[in-house]
Amino acid sequence: MLGEIVRVVAALAVTLGLIGLAVVAYRRYGPETLSRLQSSRADRRLKVIETLVLDPARRLVLVRFDAEERLILLGEGQVIPAASTPAETAR
């Protein structure tokens, strides 16, 4: 009985130690890795500018690609283009 409790406590200590080690590694190396990934995303042609949740089943999404912005209604298994405008006049 006592040996089993010691084994459980040791397993818990190892698990918590691994979680702590992962947190320390993320704090040390995570921000640099995330900034590198975000800088490579800046030159993409497609960007989600804004989203608006209308209800649990539907949302509006404003998407910019190249020099055009499109407003898209998503929901209920459908994608409905709502509006399209050049990106220069949209701002």
Per-residue model confidence (pLDDT) at position 10: 97
Q: Characterise 66 by phi-psi region: left (phi > 0), alpha (psi -120 to 50), beta (else).
A: left
pTM above 0.85, yes or no: no
Q: What ranges do the domains of the chain cover?
A: 1-43, 46-90
At residue 89, the pLDDT reads 55
What pLDDT was estimated at residue 13?
A: 97
Give the three-state DSSP class for 3: helix
Q: What is the pLDDT of residues 28-65, one digit of tens each?
A: 887 777 667 665 555 778 888 999 999 988 899 999 98
Q: Would you tell me how many other CB atoms lie within 10 Å of the CB of residue 59? A: 14
82: confidence class by pLDDT, cuts 50, 70, 90: confident
Chain centroid to Cα 32, Å, comes to 17
